[in-house]
Amino acid sequence: MEKWRIPDMTDNNQIKPSSYELTPEELDNIEKLKKSICLHRWTQPCIQIDSGHSRMCCRTFGANSDQNEILQKKSEVFLNSQFDQDRRSEMLKGIRDQDCNQCWRLEDQGITSPRKGLDEFLMYYQYTVGYKKDELLKKLATNDPELHKAHSPFMLEISLGNLCNLSCIYCNEDFSSRWAQEKISVGEVNEKFMRKKVFPTKDIMIEAFWDWMRLEGAHTLKCICFIGGETIITPELFEILNKFYELFKQDDIQTKRQHKIVIQIVTNLNIPEPQFDLFLQQIDKLTEYFRFEILISMESVEEKAEYIRNGLSWKLFDKNIHRIFTFQNGNPNYQLGFIMTYNLLSLTSTRAFLEYVYQLYKKYKHAIYLGKNLLAHPTYLAVQNLDQSYVRYIDEALDFLNSIPEINSFDFNKDITWTGYIHFLEDLKNSLQKNMQFDSEQQKIFSEWTVKNDSRTGKNFKETFPEYTDYLV
Ligand code: SF4
Ligand code: SF4
């Protein structure tokens, strides 16, 4: 398996105190910034193709540049808007800006957040710019403006818009057109409001993005991740992939690239058969320059999955799962994986879901990514609202994971691993064990929500999730 993430550094990069000695004050600065620095602020640009919204790291809200800044900085604005440089400067001063609240909240609860800290930052800068570690520490400790600029990111995220055939319980109209339609039909949002979400600077921002792709991105990126909405049913997916294909096949780009670029496609796999056939045919044509990672969004099974992901047909999903594993059939141009959005309702079927995935591994003999994502919003669906009586569901998932004989052979990528999932569940268990009682405010909101959600979807919460009866008020 090709690794595209930051390589480990060698002893050549150890600190040399004689050349760059840090003062006590600078050492203190380094200690402070350990709590706030995050490499994603430098290396994970995101562009929302339908609205023109651009930001660093998909977990932040970001802030779009105005017309003057885009026209003045051109392609440079894509990575280095004033907003992004200011946030990076704050991170180097030890300030935890509210744009990263999702991570701070997790860390304050004792749960490992997706933040990539000082060690990863040091590796990235040494690898991309060639600084020695001691030189870099000096620049960090003195908040050198040179470090406020990002370059050579490894990963780009492209959001295709909100076209989606599901209305999952934790999603909303910004990401799902089905949610938008449901809310418009009951007057909770109006179409005019939805249209306003397209930025007036969209066209010039998209132009700046494509300029950046031609000048830098196509040469340095290792991975491009497409998210939706639902990617596979969104026509823009293939428009953009074909545009990338034309770009990546150019001689000057091919001669510089050592590896095929990885294209990640995040999908709910609730795709009708003709559309799914077309998707498989289309991606197969593009493997000359691309390697695909299909990342399937799922965290539960059967009727519980259908409750959490409203509109899902488990039967169709399961059929597509087997089709894509059969299609992959040992071809190294395809990697398959699951991205679980761990939430209050998926907790009790975690083991059943992991067993389902493991059965796929046993049947198809193909390593499977297992990505973790802990739900933060809406807060009443966050698993951290439960108390220690629910820890037993984490224990049964951990018992299962620890019983898998081949578990270490799945660890081909340190960000998406099965043993990493064990650490994640252990963190969560430690956090829940401290909760002597339910978060009563969130419990009340949740209970009211189940009634509203049943009426919205025609489903029955109590029948689907009898194990939460004690949690309802
Ligand atoms: S701290 Fe969290 S939200 Fe902020 S850039 Fe890093 S991963 Fe993203
Ligand atoms: S599949 Fe994704 S985009 Fe669609 S409703 Fe679910 S979470 Fe939202």
pLDDT at position 132, please? Answer: 86
pLDDT at position 11, please? Answer: 41
Cβ-based burial of 422 (10 A; exposed 0-12, middle 13-18, buried ≥19): middle
Helix (H) / strand (E) containing 341: strand 334-342
Once rounded to an integer, what is the mean pLDDT over residues 258-264? 92
Does ligand 2 come within 6 angstroms of the Cβ of 171?
Answer: yes
Q: Which domains occur in the chain, in start order?
A: 19-148 (no CATH), 155-471 (3.20.20)
Distance 252 CA to ligand 1 centre (A): 34
pLDDT at position 196, please? Answer: 66
**Which one is predicted more confidently, 9 or 297?**
297
Residue 396 predicted with pLDDT over 70: yes
Q: What is the pLDDT of residues 130-147, one digit of tens each?
A: 888 888 999 999 999 999
Once rounded to an integer, what is the mean pLDDT over residues 455-464? 96
Distance 428 CA to ligand 1 centre (A): 19
User: Which pair of tokens denotes residue 25?
Assistant: 């004050």
Contacts of 224 (CB under 8 A, 6+ apart): 155, 156, 157, 158, 244, 261, 262, 263, 264
Once rounded to an integer, what is the mean pLDDT over residues 52-65? 91
Q: What pTM was computed for the model?
A: 0.91
Alpha-carbon separation of residue 144 from 95, 119, 149 (angstroms)? 16, 18, 10
Residue 269 and residue 305 in contact, taking contact as beta carbons nearer than 8 Å: no
Residue 458 predicted with pLDDT over 90: yes
- What does 369-437 look like in DSSP terms, one character per residue? EEEEEE--SSGGG-GGGS-GGGHHHHHHHHHHHHT-TTGGGG-SSTTS-HHHHHHHHHHHHHHHHT-SS
Q: What is the pLDDT of residues 157-210, one digit of tens each?
A: 999 999 999 999 999 999 999 999 999 988 888 877 676 678 899 999 999 999
Residue 22 and residue 141 in contact, taking contact as beta carbons nearer than 8 Å: yes
Residue 17 predicted with pLDDT over 60: no
Q: Which residues lie with the beta carbon below 6 Å from any ligand 1 atom? A: 38, 40-41, 57, 59-60, 100, 102-103, 113-115
Once rounded to an integer, what is the mean pLDDT over residues 222-251? 96
Q: How confident is the model at residue 371 (pLDDT cuts 50, 70, 90)?
A: confident
Once rounded to an integer, what is the mean pLDDT over residues 411-436? 81
pLDDT at position 5, please? Answer: 40
Distance 41 CA to ligand 1 centre (A): 7
Residue 218 and residue 247 in contact, taking contact as beta carbons nearer than 8 Å: yes
Residue 125 and residue 137 in contact, taking contact as beta carbons nearer than 8 Å: no
d(CA 13, CA 20): 13
pLDDT at position 293, please? Answer: 95
Percent of the chain clearing pLDDT 70 (strictly above):
93
Residue 437 predicted with pLDDT over 80: yes
Which atom of ligand 2 lies closest to the CA of 229?
3
User: Which pair of tokens denotes residue 56?
Assistant: 């660093």
pLDDT at position 410, please? Answer: 62
Cβ-based burial of 299 (10 A; exposed 0-12, middle 13-18, buried ≥19): buried
Considering the chain, what is the average pLDDT of its residues?
90
pLDDT at position 333, please? Answer: 94
